[in-house]
Chain A
Amino acid sequence: MAINKVAVIGAGVMGAGIAAQVANAGVPVVLLDIVPAGAENRNAVAEGAVAKMLKTEPAPFMSKAAAKLVTTGNIEDHLELLRDCDWIVEVVVEKLDVKQALYKKIDAHRKPEAIVSSNTSTIPLEKLVEGMPQNFAEKFVITHFFNPPRYMRLLELVTSANNSADTIKSITDFCDYKLGKGVVVCKDRPGFIANRLGVYWLQSAVVLAFEHKLDVEEADALIGKPLGIPKTGVFGLLDLIGLDLMPHINASMASALPSLDAFHGMNKPLPLVERMIKDGYTGRKGKGGFYRLNRDKGKLKETIDLATGDFRAQRKAKVEAIDEAGKDLKKLLTHDSAHGRYAWDVVRKTLTYAAALVGDAADDIFSIDEAMRLGYAWKWGPFELLDKIGPDWFVARLAEEGGLVPPILQAAKGKTFYRIDDGKRQALTLSGDYVTLERPEGVLLLADIKLTQKPVLKNASASVWDIGDGVLCFEFTSMMNSLDADIVMLLNQTVQLVQKSYKALVVYNEGANFTVGANLGLALFAANVAAWGEIEQLVGLGQFAYKGLKYAPFPVVSAPSGMALGGGCEILLHSDAIQAHAESYIGLVEVGVGLIPGWGGCKELLARWQANPKMPKGPMPAVAQVFEYISTARVAKSAAEARDMLILREGDGITMNRNRLLFDAKAKALKLVANYQPPQSPVYRLPGPSGKLALKMAVDGFAKIGKATRHDIVVSDALANILTGGDTEYFNELSEDKILELERQNFMKLVRNPDSLARIEHMLETGKPLRN
Chain B
Amino acid sequence: MPAYKAPLRDMRYVLYDVMGGDDLTSLPGYEDFTRDTLDAVLEEAAKICEQVLQPLNRSGDEEGCAYENGVVRTPKGFKQAYDTFRDGGWTSIACDPAFGGQGVPAALNTLVEEMICSANLSFGMYPGLSHGAYVALHGYGSDELKQAYLPKLVDGTWSGTMCLTEPHCGTDLGLMRTKAVPQEDGSYKITGTKTFISAGEHDLTENIVHLVLAKIPGGPKGIKGVSLFLVPKFLPDAEGRPGPRNGVRCGSIEHKMGIKASATCVMNFDDAQGWLIGQPHKGMQAMFAMMNAERLAVGVQGLGLAESAYQGAVTYAKERLQGRSLSGVKNPDKPADPLIVHPDIRRMLLTQRAYIEGGRALAIWAAKALDTAKKHPDPAERSKAEDFIAIVTPVIKAFLTDTGYEATNLGVQVFGGHGYIRDHGMEQFIRDGRIAQIYEGANGIQALDLVGRKMPAHAGRYLRTVFHPISDYIEANKSNADLADLIGPLGKAFGRLQQATLHVARVGMARPDEAGAAASDYLRLFGLTTLAYLWARMAEVSLPQADDPFHKAKVLTARFYMERLLPQTGALLSTILAGGKTMMAFEEAAF
Contact = CB atoms under 8 A, between A and B. Distances in A.
Interface of A: 520-521, 524-532, 534, 754, 757, 760-761, 764-765
Contacts of B458: 761, 765
Given A761-B459, A761-B461, A765-B458, A532 B471 contact: yes
8 contacts: A528-B460, A528-B468, A529-B460, A529-B464, A529-B498, A530-B464, A534-B502, A764-B459
Residue in B458, B460, B502 whose Cβ sees the most chain A Cβ within 10 Å: B460
B467 A529 contact: yes
B122 interface: no
A529 B501 contact: yes
B220 to A, nearest CB: 9
A521 B459 contact: yes
Given A764-B459, A765-B458, A528 B464 contact: yes
Interface of B: 458-461, 463-464, 467-468, 470-472, 498, 501-502, 505
A525 B470 CA distance: 16
Contacts of B464: 527-530, 754, 757
Q: Is the interface of B mostly helix, strand, loop or mixed?
A: helix
B469 to A, nearest CB: 9
Given A764-B459, A765-B458, A528 B502 contact: no
B465 to A, nearest CB: 9
Contacts of A520: 459
A760 B458 CA distance: 10
B471 A525 contact: no
Nearest to A531: B498
Contacts of B467: 528-530
Contacts of B505: 525
Given A761-B458, A765-B458, A528 B498 contact: no
Contacts of A754: 464
A485 to B, nearest CB: 11
Contacts of B470: 530
Contacts, number: 45
A551 B460 CA distance: 37
Q: Is the interface of A mostly helix, strand, loop or mixed?
A: helix
Nearest to B468: A530
A531 B506 CA distance: 14
A536 to B, nearest CB: 13
A531 B459 contact: no
Contacts of A529: 460, 463-464, 467, 498, 501-502
A525 B468 contact: no
Contact of B459 (A525, A532, A534): A525
Contact of B463 (A528, A532, A761): A528
A440 B467 CA distance: 57
B458 to A, nearest CB: 6
Nearest to A762: B458
Nearest to A534: B502
Contacts of B460: 524-525, 528-529
A764 B461 CA distance: 12
Contacts of B472: 530
B164 to A, nearest CB: 26
Contacts of B471: 530, 532
Contact of B461 (A526, A528, A531, A534): A528
Given A530-B470, A532-B471, A524 B459 contact: yes
Nearest to A521: B459
A530 B464 CA distance: 7
A532 B464 CA distance: 12
A757 B472 CA distance: 16
A521 B458 CA distance: 9
A764 B498 CA distance: 22
Contacts of A525: 459-460, 502, 505
Contacts of A534: 502
A241 to B, nearest CB: 36
A769 B470 CA distance: 29
A765 B461 CA distance: 12
A435 to B, nearest CB: 41
Closest 10 CB pairs of A and B: A530-B471, A528-B460, A524-B459, A525-B460, A528-B464, A530-B467, A529-B467, A529-B501, A528-B463, A525-B459
Nearest to B469: A530
A754 B471 CA distance: 14
Contacts of A532: 471
A521 B461 CA distance: 11
Contacts of A531: 498, 502
A534 B459 CA distance: 16
A570 to B, nearest CB: 22
A756 to B, nearest CB: 12
B502 to A, nearest CB: 6
A527 B464 CA distance: 8
Nearest to A530: B471
A602 B54 CA distance: 69
Contacts of A524: 459-461
A479 to B, nearest CB: 10
B174 to A, nearest CB: 15
Contacts of B459: 520-521, 524-525, 528, 760-761, 764
A525 B472 CA distance: 17
Residue in B461, B467, B468 whose Cβ sees the most chain A Cβ within 10 Å: B461
Nearest to B456: A525
A709 to B, nearest CB: 15
Nearest to A318: B220
B221 to A, nearest CB: 9
Given A528-B464, A530-B467, A765-B458, 13 more contacts: A524-B459, A525-B459, A525-B502, A526-B502, A528-B460, A528-B467, A529-B463, A529-B498, A529-B501, A530-B464, A531-B498, A532-B471, A761-B461
Residue in A531, A532, A754, A760 whose Cβ sees the most chain B Cβ within 10 Å: A531
A527 B470 CA distance: 13
Contacts of A530: 464, 467-468, 470-472, 498
A520 B460 CA distance: 12
B297 to A, nearest CB: 28
